Amino acid sequence: VPMFGRSVEFPADSLPQKELVRHIETTLARSLYNCDENAAYSGTALAFRDRLIIEWNKTQQRQTFNDQKRVYYLSLEFLMGRALDNAMLNVGLKDAARDGLKDLGFRIEDVIGQEHDAALGNGGLGRLAACLLDSMATLNYPAWGYGLRYRYGIFKQEIVNGYQMEVPDYWLDNNPWEFPRHEITVDIQFYGCVRKYQAENGKIMHSWEDAEIVQAVAYDVPIPGYGTKTTNNLRLWSSKASSGEFDFQKFNAGDYESAVADEQRAETISAVLYPNDNLERGKELRLKQQYFWCAASLYDIVRRFKKSKRAWSEFPDQVAIQLNDTHPTLAIVELQRILIDTEGLEWDEAWNIVTKSFGYTNHTVLPEALEKWSVPLLQNLLPRHLQIIYDVNLYFLQIVEKRFPNDREMLSRVSIIEESHPKMVRMAHLAIIGSHKVNGVAELHSDLIKTTIFKDFVEIYGPDRFTNVTNGITPRRWLHQANPRLSALIAEKLGGYEFLTDLTLLDKLEAFVDDKKFRTEWAEIKSANKLRLARYIKETTGFSVNPDALFDVQVKRIHEYKRQQLNIFGVIHRYLTIKAMSAEERKKVVPRVSIFGGKAAPGYWMAKTVIHLINKVSFVVNNDADVGDLLKVIFIEDYNVSKAEMICPASDLSEHISTAGTEASGTSNMKFVLSGGLIIGTCDGANIEITREIGEQNIFLFGTLAEDVEELRHRHVYGQTFQIDSQLAKVFEAIKGNMFGDAGDFSALTASVEQHGDFYLVSDDFNSYVTTHEMVDEAFKNREEWLAKSITSVARMGFFSTDRVINEYADSIWNVEPLEVGKD
């Protein structure tokens, strides 16, 4: 089946092999005789990089020349994973590279496997940003990503004696995918004070003085689109000591030590990605990161706009800035500051430009994740910004007061400033007030923010400021790259790979659901993917798993709201049930492999305890010969993007079981279904829309509904007695009886349910969870039915492409048009 790609356009004498050999011999200065897999990787990457650069330059030239509205996606996280396979797919010529490498004695998969993941993100939010970049390039939108170039990405997880250990992820050496732009730098100010002065025209102005300066240096990463020449830019900022007068003087004065210390302090800003996901800690360094990156990006955006010599009023017609959560909210304040303090605009004129330019995406309703910065901290670090925030708040509250006279409660609820000790700046309020659109990431989530955390703002601004854009995933990485055989089988049936750029075409697969041969091929691909995972599990954990067993997977960040504890309690229940069975009964049991993976934030004790319990259960169950193949429990170390690419295609069932109303969307649910896995899930996030699309007969839903959560929680705390589910009580007895090692290690987990109000409703949902798993077993016994569900589900997943997502943002929030490269 012919692929998209551009191979036809390259002359035959410049095939990858020739180029990669040239790079190995000249760029890397290595002989082919001592070329190892790593050198083969570097040579291949450089060969493909050459192709990308040409189109990247062309794209940038054309976008500059055309000078139409651009999108700027500001995100503190871009969880890109590996780049080579993606570059091969988008440039074309992967087959030629495979042959060339084989000639040299390498398997292309092994060479691709040499690349270190670019892991500049925690989880869903960062990976979403990466999928959106892929779709923006594929759809030819003139778009830039802006982020931080962390020296250390998310830590590497090692499991030692069942405990998580964190190892630094130093990933920058020999990264062929980034281009340092030492000539593109921005001086960023911190601390100092504000001076008022009278300008020549008599106007009172403000200047920010005596600030410390840190330099931002741009590093660019090409983002190729698929089936197009568009190659967009991801600009990551790295911090460096500014080589100003100051340290020069120190140097000359012989104060070498302190000059070096200053340098290190500056470099610390972009040193490390904060590994918390959904937990705000209010650390000064994190605030520095945020401002450093916002200010550098804004300077860059404004500089580009000013080149076109347009009037400031045209800024929102040229620039759309999307805020990925509240992390970049200071960009709103920074633009206002530039416009009034440096460009001399009037407040109202400036503020009008600002609000028209920004859009804000909310990714969580968890109160502990909502960012707040203390006023004293801001006062010290960004004195001028704090003044502007107070002014924004003043004008905003005046408007609110007019609309809702005498409602002091309302004023204090919506104020940007929380009147606590110390006072706090509520970043979400600032983001809403400074943007023209606010969106959630799945229907339920977008409804929830309108009726709970942002309810007052709906009353103030009306419902039109709030909208929904349901998340998606890029089918290039999550179908074609991760599951090439499934992609090829689909292409064969559909007569081409057009579905990779129009995922709704998958619906044509439904015509083949009853096709016996097709079903067999479908099943064979799933088996092969499971076999590969089984081999990986054997290699990395030493445990043998039966590849014919039902593979039940939960991989995602470990968090109480995601309820891995519910899963492992369910596994223990299954273990106890099997142990109590007669030999005859055991014959009817569907063999299972329960697979877990995910990182806990280093300071999140409860999450670490969950990891510990999973590993202890794994040890006990897997070594229990009496249970054998009927149940195995696996914890996969260091779950990341490239492991997800191997794991998702190998699942029969995956778990998306958050307490209803807590998971904003979830995106791995989509990845699993798109690879033919079924899911067990709660009515939460995008599970609800997945159900609507694929049909409720094709998904295993269970548990409390979001609308009932609050009352149950209230009852747990204030009700007569708290009755724990009887089956769960047996699980707790086993834990307390030291079945999985010292029960004291896990007392926080059982106490959370029994004594601390079971906030996540583990006990309430336990029975329906277990019962639903029994239905899964029954369904799995009927192989043909199961396959029909699998195929039908994939066929109906067209909606969940980030291509659809990007078109929605472009139409309803950004108002930008695509621009094709290579066309006039």
Which positions lie near ligand 26V, rule CB under 6 A? 122-125, 128, 274, 276-280, 325, 363-364, 369, 371, 441, 471, 663-667, 685
Choose the catalytic residue: 562, 592, 599, 616.
562
Q: How far apart are CA 457 and CA 450, in angstroms?
A: 8
Please identify, using beta-carbon distances, which residue of 5 and 275 lies nearer to ligand 26V: 275
Structure tokens at 356: 């028209």
Choose the catalytic residue: 476, 477, 557, 592.
557
Please identify, using beta-carbon distances, which residue of 20 and 125 lies nearer to ligand 26V: 125
**Nearest approach, Cβ of 431 to ligand 26V (angstroms)?**
13
**Nearest approach, Cβ of 190 to ligand 26V (angstroms)?**
20
Please identify, using beta-carbon distances, which residue of 185 and 659 lies nearer to ligand 26V: 659
Please identify, using beta-carbon distances, which residue of 412 and 452 lies nearer to ligand 26V: 452
Please identify, using beta-carbon distances, which residue of 189 and 667 lies nearer to ligand 26V: 667
Do 187 and 215 form a contact (C-beta atoms < 8 A)?
Answer: yes
Distance of CA 154 to the CA centre of its chain: 12
* Closest among 47, 39, 50 to 17, alpha carbons compared: 47
Choose the catalytic residue: 326, 662, 667, 682.
667
* Closest among 320, 394, 309, 385 to 354, alpha carbons compared: 320
**Nearest approach, Cβ of 614 to ligand 26V (angstroms)?**
21
Amino acid identity of residue 433, one-letter, is: I
Structure tokens at 641: 């993007």
Residue nearest to ligand 26V (CB): 124
682 is catalytic: no
Do 505 and 499 form a contact (C-beta atoms < 8 A)?
Answer: yes
Please identify, using beta-carbon distances, which residue of 5 and 123 lies nearer to ligand 26V: 123
Please identify, using beta-carbon distances, which residue of 316 and 685 lies nearer to ligand 26V: 685
Q: How far apart are CA 322 and CA 72, in angstroms?
A: 6
Q: Please name the residues in contact with 328: beta carbons below 8 A apart, sequence gap of 6 or more.
A: 74, 75, 76, 290, 293, 294, 297
Distance of CA 612 to the CA centre of its chain: 25
Enclosing H/E stretch for 620: helix 605-622
Please identify, using beta-carbon distances, which residue of 425 and 537 lies nearer to ligand 26V: 425
Please identify, using beta-carbon distances, which residue of 43 and 124 lies nearer to ligand 26V: 124
**Nearest approach, Cβ of 686 to ligand 26V (angstroms)?**
7
**Nearest approach, Cβ of 441 to ligand 26V (angstroms)?**
4
Q: Are strands 424-426 and 417-418 parallel, antiparallel or unpaired?
A: antiparallel
Choose the catalytic residue: 385, 556, 592, 632.
556
Please identify, using beta-carbon distances, which residue of 780 and 800 lies nearer to ligand 26V: 800
Do 597 and 614 form a contact (C-beta atoms < 8 A)?
Answer: no
**Nearest approach, Cβ of 70 to ligand 26V (angstroms)?**
23
CA distances from 565 to 252, 543, 657, 728, 767 (A): 60, 22, 10, 11, 14
Structure tokens at 625: 């010969």
789 is catalytic: no
Please identify, using beta-carbon distances, which residue of 138 and 364 lies nearer to ligand 26V: 364
Do 200 and 222 form a contact (C-beta atoms < 8 A)?
Answer: no
Q: Please name the residues in contact with 63: beta carbons below 8 A apart, sequence gap of 6 or more.
A: 70, 142, 819
Please identify, using beta-carbon distances, which residue of 442 and 549 lies nearer to ligand 26V: 442
**Nearest approach, Cβ of 85 to ligand 26V (angstroms)?**
23
437 is catalytic: no
671 is catalytic: yes
Listing from the earlier edge strand, what are the strands of the sheet with 231-241? 179-190, 212-224, 231-241, 143-148, 70-74, 319-324, 358-361, 437-440, 466-468
Q: Cβ of 330: how many Cβ atoms within 10 Å?
A: 28
Q: How far apart are CA 327 and CA 223, in angstroms?
A: 23
**Nearest approach, Cβ of 472 to ligand 26V (angstroms)?**
10
Q: How far apart are CA 242 and CA 418, in angstroms?
A: 36
Q: How far apart are CA 221 and CA 235, in angstroms?
A: 6
Do 543 and 632 form a contact (C-beta atoms < 8 A)?
Answer: yes
Enclosing H/E stretch for 45: helix 37-66
**Nearest approach, Cβ of 687 to ligand 26V (angstroms)?**
10
Q: How far apart are CA 714 and CA 701, in angstroms?
A: 24
62 is catalytic: no
**Nearest approach, Cβ of 667 to ligand 26V (angstroms)?**
5
Q: Are strands 319-324 and 156-160 parallel, antiparallel or unpaired?
A: unpaired
**Nearest approach, Cβ of 156 to ligand 26V (angstroms)?**
18
CA distances from 64 to 59, 234, 357, 739 (A): 8, 16, 19, 66
Alpha-helical runs (H) found in 358-417: 375-381, 383-403, 408-414
* Closest among 112, 110, 130, 111 to 120, alpha carbons compared: 130
Choose the catalytic residue: 69, 429, 445, 671.
671
Do 67 and 77 form a contact (C-beta atoms < 8 A)?
Answer: no
CA distances from 490 to 509, 785, 787, 800 (A): 7, 19, 15, 17
Do 363 and 469 form a contact (C-beta atoms < 8 A)?
Answer: no
**Is residue 353 helix, strand or coil?**
helix
151 is catalytic: no
**Nearest approach, Cβ of 713 to ligand 26V (angstroms)?**
20
Residues classed as catalytic: 363, 556-557, 562, 667, 671
